[in-house]
Every structure is written in structure tokens, then in C-alpha cells.
Amino acid sequence: MQFRKLGLKFQKVDQILISHLHGDHYFGLVGLLSTMHMLGRTRSIQIYGPKGLKEIVEIQLYAAGSRLSFDVFTTEVAPETNGLLYEDAKIKITYFPLAHKIPTSGFIIHQKEKDRKLNIDQAQLDGVKIEYFHRLKKREDVIDEDGRLFRFEDYTTTGCAPCTYAFCSDTKYHEPIVEYIKGVDVLYHEATFTELLLDRAIATKHSTARQAAEIAKLADVGQLLMGHLSARYDDGSEHEAEARPIFENCLFVQDGETYTIQTC
């Protein structure tokens, strides 16, 4: 429903990350897979999550007598560990342990270094052939058929620096995560409560807005996005007011809104 409401094409989804096995984080998974099946999907999908996730998905499909038209590959991780989950030519995704009532993982999406920008005018002036352009952009020096050397530094400049985005929900205040998220461009950190309900945050192993800001400051991140607010709050204005004196570049975020992550 949310995919349709937001105009997103869920058939383009190939990787799914599940942080932990509290229902609000995975109840919709089998429904999503079933909808993909009904719409004719044949391309496989990869799911990452804690131990037990594969069994949950298989039991639900078996109980419903469902057989999907595509393969579902599930990679289960021990949430107390950290490592690489996924990698392709453009990104890699790593995971690390959070601290919640049940085993929970945080995730970091690392954008890989982009191709350099080509100075086309200089390249054409020096007689660099078009077929060499892509190699120069990929930081390769080129020697043409006449033996001339073209160094990529002479014809390209650096583009935008690659971005990093860390996702931390759900978790109590937990300083050990700082080593994993240090210096990321954007940190999403849960802020279920404000300090007025610190005792509730401690009891449920959630965080306050102040605690999220303290983690962002310790990790020296570029921006803090706060979410996962308790339903008792109408909006995130109290959370922003609480967090901003500690970490100024912070924002309360809501489902359905779009945020651009840029490094230049």
C-alpha cells in the first residue's frame, strides 16, 4: 500500500534489509513478495536479516499454500557481528550490531567512488580519441597507437565525493556504534522519545532525541535524521528543539518525504 501511495515501483526492488524481528519491521514482507508474484515477477530477490527470518518467510508461504514465481534468497546474519552484506559496481552495504530488546542490526550504504569528470575541450585539443574518454574517467592512463601517453590527471577532475548513509533503528543509546558510523554523511537514528520520557526509553531500549544527537556528535556525522517517534507525539518539533543544541544539523523525518543526500 505504501509503495503504491508513494508512487514507487516495487518490482525494481532487488535487495531487502530487515533490521530485527519485531513485527513492525517485517510483517509486510510476505505480502510484498506475494504482490510481486501476482504481478508476474520472475527476477530473484535477496533478503538480509537476523537468524529466524528465513523460517518465518517459509512458514507463512507454506501455510498459505503459496509458491512464488521467483527465487527468494535469504542471508541471515548474527546481529552481534558486523561485516559486508552486499556489493556491486556502485555501492556496498555493511551491517553492525545495535542494542535493542532483541538482536538488531544497523546498516550503512556506502556509495563507491564515482568516475572523474572529463575536460572534453582539453582532450579534443590534444587529439585524444573519443574511445579513450571512458578509460580516462575511470582513472586509467592511455597510450594511443602512436605511442602518445595521456595521463588521466591531465584530462579529468574529481567529481562529487561518494556518500555514506547509516540507518540505526531500533536501538538504545549505545556508544559502541560510533566506531561503525564515524564520519558518515547522513545518519538516521531513532528518537522514539524526548528526555521527559527518558525512563520509558531506558525500559524499552529506545533512544531520546538528545541521545541521538549525542551519538551524531560523537560520530562527527554530516547530518542527523531522526525518526521512529512514539505515537504520543504529533510531530517532531520537540525532538528537534531537544537535539539541536547538541547537534545543530538535525531534522525530524516522516514516511513519504524525500531527502537529498549530497556531498557537493
Contact (CB, 8 A) for 135 and 123:
no
Is residue 24 flagged as an active site residue? Answer: yes
In 3D space, the residue among 164, 174, 171, 176 whose CA is nearest the CA of residue 222 turns out to be 164
Residue 191 CA to residue 243 CA, distance in Å, equals 10
Maximum CA pair distance of the chain?
Answer: 75
Tell me the one-letter amino acid at 164.
T
Contact (CB, 8 A) for 238 and 263:
no
Residue 53 CA to residue 47 CA, distance in Å, equals 9
* Helix spans in the chain (H): 2-5, 29-38, 53-63, 120-125, 133-137, 152-155, 178-181, 198-204, 209-219, 237-243
Using DSSP's 3-state secondary structure scheme, residue 198 falls into helix
Cβ count near 257 (within 10 Å): 9
Cβ count near 255 (within 10 Å): 8
Q: Residue 77 corresponds to which cell in the numbers above?
A: 546474519
Contact (CB, 8 A) for 98 and 109:
no
Cβ count near 169 (within 10 Å): 22
Marked catalytic residue, from 24, 121, 146, 255: 24
Tell me the catalytic residues. 24
